[in-house]
Chain A
Amino acid sequence: MYIGRRQSRPRAVRIAFQRPVSVTLRVVLGVAAWFIFLGIWQYAATADLAPQRLFPPPTQVISALETLFSEQNFQADVLASLRRVAISFALAFAFALPLGLFMGAFPVVAAFFNPLVSPFRYLPAPAFIPLLLMWLGAGDTQKIALLFLGVVWFLVTLIADHVRSVRMELIETALTLGASTRQVLGGVVFRASLPGLVDIARQMLAVSWTYLIIAEIVAATDGIGAMIMRARRFVRVDEVMAGIVMIGILGLLLDLLFRLLHWKLFPYARQRSRKP
């Protein structure tokens, strides 16, 4: 039904402002970038520029990652980390969603909460670590609390801003069709912001990962961050790097998962997102 504007075939000059890139070319360029990056790394590591113990090549990092999984029960650490992110993020989102929704929908609610929430965003979450250690001890609760504090105020602000951007005409249309305040809030304001909310969750989840490692570096016995700190003590640079690679892979997978969710849940938004 919808016929997108087809781009004419790219000519010899491929670099031009705003010129869309074909799928094939995009894949080729993406793979090439990785090959070049890994190639330079491999070369630099094997060329004896630095002691190999401190700067291992990618091949050694990958085999370290394999050994971690097969011999040192690394999956338990990965699961512990995933669990912390999942619990803390679910709690933060469950807290931020109603607050952000009401703040975005009703300016009077925003006028009350905004002076409170906005300054909170400028308090760096790691600054709370000593407090949290004293209050909650060194266990999981403290780590989850840190992760919660790290994203919750940003989530509130982002959700409120996004909800506020729902077009007034959509709200007024629903009102003239006889919708109640509750129906407008749930059926129009929330529903219209939903695709954006999934995007916000995807982006803030990445922030949550950064706080995870900070939380696990401080007094943790399990988790990816704890493994990295253990490996550092024995100067196992390859294992430290393997841990970092694992975090990257998990982040990427979660990002893809949320994109897939967005694609599956919002078929009507596909056309728009496909446009360059």
Chain B
Amino acid sequence: MSSPEHHRSADFGELRIESVSKRYPGAHRREPPRLALESISFDLRRGAVGVLLGPSGCGKSTLLRMVAGLETISEGRITVSGREVTGPGRDRGMVFQTYTSFPWLTVEENVGYGLRINSSAAGVRSGVVDYFLDRIGLTPFRKAYPDQLSGGMRQRVAIARALANQPDILLMDEPFGALDPETRWQMQELVLGIVHKERMTVLMVTHDIEEAIFMGDRIAFFSRGPGRLIEVIEPTFGADERRLDKAALKAIPDYGEMESRILQMMRTEGSRASESAV
């Protein structure tokens, strides 16, 4: 990548979440505040892929949005590359589940948007844009408008746009949730390939166990009501070949074991939460 490494600090790309809580005020004055996330701590070193996994309503998206600076932090602190998060910024690129390509910009203009508003020189910009268009395989579609693309292509544009802006960390909120299984699989491999090459730190939310094990170096498993981090799972089996492709991953015996264990945790969480609701 074209960005120089020398001015980067030693903790570049490191994520630190320290005892973070999220409280929502009650709907009216008498109602006590609702605790959505309780004292979450989680770290990622540079280049690691962190996955936030858990039943719906466990606050995993809220935590991701807090890292992005799109939600306020009630207690605790979050740092990225040693800098405390106080609001959204270009050091934390975000990919949403819904399509967020700017419809009035072509594919290449979308990818170059972050660089343009941060006033990068046009020469540098076009080099970076070309590089990422090539990485996501959309060079032939560079002049097309997002509405002319399929869902998977649009999500690739969103990922390339976030990466081209050269963030310290890439945040993704169920980025492949709206895609069909075949496309989702291709996208997971594509993103892992790019991310490892760039040594990009990634924090992503998913509810897909297979996706979590395939992508994640560290999987944070959440319970709900209030959201708590109950276990950090590190899929160490298979090391390198795990990353080759999904078929190879599924052939590893440990994979099946881990998948069923997480599935069990999901089920327990789901039933526990529905019991407590009664």
Contact = CB atoms under 8 A, between A and B. Distances in A.
A191 B109 CA distance: 14
Interface in B133-168: 141, 144-149, 158, 161-162, 165
Contacts of A192: 102-104
A272 interface: yes
Nearest to B90: A178
Nearest to A268: B145
B98 interface: yes
Interface in A171-186: 172-180, 183
A170 B114 CA distance: 13
Contacts of B113: 174, 177
A272 B147 contact: yes
Contacts, number: 76
Interface in B81-123: 88-90, 92-94, 96, 98, 100, 102-104, 113-114, 117-118
B70 interface: yes
A266 B165 CA distance: 26
Contact of B165 (A2, A175, A177, A271): A177
Contact of B147 (A170, A176, A268): A268
A183 B103 CA distance: 17
A172 B88 contact: yes
Contact of B145 (A187, A188, A194, A267): A267
A85 to B, nearest CB: 29
Contacts of A172: 68, 70, 88, 94, 96
Contact of A179 (B96, B98, B117, B145): B117
Contacts of A188: 102
Interface centre among A172, A194, A269 (most CB of B within 10 A): A172
Contacts of B114: 177-178
A28 interface: no
Give the secondary structure class of A's interface: helix
Interface in A19-39: none
Contacts of B68: 172, 176
Q: How large is the interface on B (under 10, 10 to 19, 20 to 34, 35 or more residues)?
A: 20 to 34
Interface residues of A, number: 26
A268 B149 CA distance: 12
B90 A177 contact: yes
Contacts of A2: 147-148
B100 A170 contact: yes
A268 B118 contact: no
A268 B148 CA distance: 9
Interface centre among B90, B158, B171 (most CB of A within 10 A): B90
A177 B145 contact: no
A165 B22 CA distance: 28
Contact of A170 (B90, B102, B171): B102
B144 A1 contact: yes
A1 B141 CA distance: 9
A52 B136 CA distance: 74
Given A169-B96, A172-B88, A178-B165, 11 more contacts: A2-B148, A170-B102, A172-B94, A173-B158, A176-B69, A176-B171, A178-B117, A180-B117, A191-B104, A268-B147, A271-B147
Interface of B: 68-70, 88-90, 92-94, 96, 98, 100, 102-104, 113-114, 117-118, 141, 144-149, 158, 161-162, 165, 171
Instruction: List the 7 closest pairs (A to B, CB-CB), nearest first.
Output: A178-B90, A177-B114, A175-B88, A176-B94, A268-B145, A2-B148, A173-B100
19 contacts: A169-B98, A172-B96, A173-B94, A175-B70, A175-B88, A176-B94, A176-B171, A177-B113, A178-B114, A179-B117, A180-B117, A188-B102, A194-B104, A267-B145, A268-B103, A268-B104, A268-B146, A269-B103, A272-B147
